[in-house]
Amino acid sequence: MSEAAAPARAYEYIVVGSGAGGGTLAARLAEAGRSVLLLEAGGDTTDSTAERLPEDYEVPAFHAFASENPAMKWDFFVRHYEDEERQKRDCKYTEQRGGVLYPRAGTLGGCTAHNAMILVYPHNADWDHLEQLTGDRSWNAANMRKYFERLEDCKHRPLKYWTTKLTGRNPSRHGFGGWLTTEIAMPMEALGNRYLRKVLEESAVDASSQIGERLKRLRWFFKTRGDPNDWRLVRANSFGLRFLPLTTKNHVRVGSRERGRSVAKKFPDRLRIECDALVTRVLFDDTNRAIGVEYLKGERLYGAHANPSNDAGERRQAHAAREVILCGGAFNTPQLLMLSGIGSAEELKQHGIEARVDLPGVGKNLQDRYEISVVYRMKENWQMLAGAKFSKGDDQYRQWDNKKKREGVYTTNGGMLAVIKRSKQDKLPDLFCLGLVGKFKGYFPGYSKLIAEHHNYLSWIILKARTLNNAGRVALQSADPRQPPKIQFRYFDEGSDKQGKDLDAVVEGIQFVRAMTHDLRAQGLVAAEELPGDESRSEEQLNEFVRDNAWGHHASCTCPIGPREKGGVLTSDFRVHGTKGLRVVDASVFPRIPGFFIVSAVYMIGEKAADVILAETK
Ligand SMILES: Cc1cc2nc3c(=O)[nH]c(=O)nc-3n(C[C@H](O)[C@H](O)[C@H](O)COP(=O)(O)OP(=O)(O)OC[C@H]3O[C@@H](n4cnc5c(N)ncnc54)[C@H](O)[C@@H]3O)c2cc1C
């Protein structure tokens, strides 16, 4: 039976958006016996015949190409600065679009369909802060860990798996039976290749000598082999060299798409996934209870799509007997709330929208990492990339495509070495430095081409966690649900970090990376530092470089949990203030951006929300 002809059915829950938050939640609710309709604006594109699919989705090394694949991508163009002159100084600025590219995925699985698959556990302080803010003890760090254990199926600590199985003791607190497989990938060529091995060894030794507290780090290392998600390291707020756990299964990407599809297959009567369904507003009864949603049925209806359709789409409604849960992500969930009359009454009026709940916090408090790259051109090409075209059919693809024993550089996301460090500006580790084999200096249209075209680059990406800037915002551009919202991050001096601590920390990160690569340069392995470049040496020059070139890709916090009078949008159990039967479960719920890599925290709140919702209906 076609979807158009399907009989209207009342579901208990409607979940909007199938990303890290929504996919996780919808699957868990259905598994627990609830009937759920999961509405997703994008298609299940990996099933399509679109160019470079499914390989862009599946192959870990193709993640940058996935984020630029026209069948999956939603391109937002955001402002880092309101000031046009300042904004223009960023070479990534696309003037015709009035902003800097911010990739998102409008497809089944959301941004888990194109992200770099890095799963790094957040800081315990992130959860404890939520407990303090809300007085809700279920947010405390020790309790939250159980959600990670529930969702993870850790394959990279086999010894821990067996000791846990045999002794019942699990000090690492990894999960070994969840739905999200984690693996590590380090191609044997990387270790077998003398040149790359030397680069890695030199960097590791230099990083070690820069960080200090050697004994402590050695102890951590021998306990966990550099596993950033081992509970003992998380609890100790540890720092030092780390490997990168990836969400892959037999070195193929996995995420909320696989989770949703497998539960829908097992329980077709409970979970219905409807793609190409752009939700345009929440429907309410007279008591402000959410009773369903209105949506447009059709392909490519959202304006951020690479090739947006002019088709009007078919207007439909779906009804929820219990609740509507918004999981559209940090840009789309506030947009949807505002389109539904929930937001600042004054701002809604400007777009002709009548306020149902005057909730000025909606869309405010936008936060992100600050990221910057130190880009080195190496003297020699990386051998493991010889002839690599980053497409189907090259030797590296053939190595990856051997299903019995997937190997080679395409099993990795390009990241070879990671270092966690605490800057002088923070009490906790706040810098994550990732050494990537490839040329990467942030996002702009066509950025992924650089990776395929150059085989002699090492980019050290510095991610600054725990930002003090929460001045960013998402606002409606118009009342048209197909038009993306206005997104302003208000970086550095335009933001709320008046002492400039974030900027100082990022600059410290660059100086650290330079110190780490000092010996490589001394030995003549590096041809040139292309970015920031040798001409940027003084602190003032580095400040300018960071202000002009920084970017982020973990947008969050735009519908924060917290008291309404302090700009909060949600209660501690994810309910939208002033409404009934309406929750938000995605990256927008955090009052402060969690961890170094956000997706672990978003998956975890998907699991937590399911617990909260199910407990209420027992
Ligand atoms: C290029 C890139 C690489 C990244 N790499 C990493 C990484 O390696 N590690 C990490 O931790 N994080 C990474 N992230 C970030 C991380 O993937 C996201 O923060 C996370 O997926 C957010 O989850 P979410 O549920 O809030 O939203 P999303 O995963 O974005 O899901 C939202 C979903 O809602 C749908 N939707 C939106 N509006 C509507 C509507 N009106 N109607 C119906 N559906 C709608 C969207 O199509 C989308 O599928 C990366 C992000 C990017 C952009």
CB of 106 shorter than 6 A to ligand 1:
yes
Read off the tokens for 198: 């030397």
Q: What share of the chain is helix, strand, coil (3-state, %, to 5)?
A: 35, 25, 40
pLDDT < 70 regions, the chain: 1-8, 187-193
Site to probe by mutation for ligand 1, drawn from 111, 316, 441 as the one with most ligand atoms within 8 Å of Cβ, is: 111
Dump pLDDT digits (tens) for 56-72.
Answer: 999 999 999 999 999 99
Matching residue, tokens 């003297």: 379
Indicate the pairing of strand 11-16 with strand 36-39. Answer: parallel
* Cβ–Cβ < 8 Å for 287, 281: no
Distance 44 CA to ligand 1 centre (A): 15
Residue 7 is predicted with a pLDDT of 47
For 180-253+367-477+492-549, CATH gives 3.30.560.10
pLDDT tens digit sequence for 354-403: 999 999 999 999 999 999 999 999 999 999 999 999 999 999 999 999 99
Q: What are the beta bridge partners of residue 246?
A: 118, 183
Residue 27 has a pLDDT of 98
CA distance 30 to 152: 19
pLDDT score recorded for residue 193: 67
Q: Name the residue at shortest CA distance from atom 16 of ligand 1.
A: 599
pLDDT at site 191? 58
Alpha-carbon gap, residue 435 to 439, rounded angstroms: 11
Would you state the pLDDT for residue 2? 35
CA angle 182, 256, 41 (to 5 degrees): 155
pTM of the predicted model as reported, rounded to 2 decimal places: 0.97
Pocket probe mutation, ligand 1, options 40, 92, 115, max atoms within 8 Å of Cβ: 115
- Residue 434 buriedness (CB in 10 A; 0-12 / 13-18 / 19+): buried
d(CA 83, CA 186): 43
Regarding the beta carbon of 19 and ligand 1, being less than 6 Å apart is answered yes
Distance between Cα 615 and ligand 1 center (Å): 27
**Given this model, what pLDDT does residue 4 score?**
41
The finding on whether 115 has its CB within 6 A of some atom of ligand 1 is yes
CB 587 within 8 A of CB 330: yes
16/302 Cα distance (integer angstroms): 14
Residue type, 18: S
Kindly give the distance from the C-alpha atom of residue 554 to the centroid of ligand 1, in angstroms, as a whole number.
9
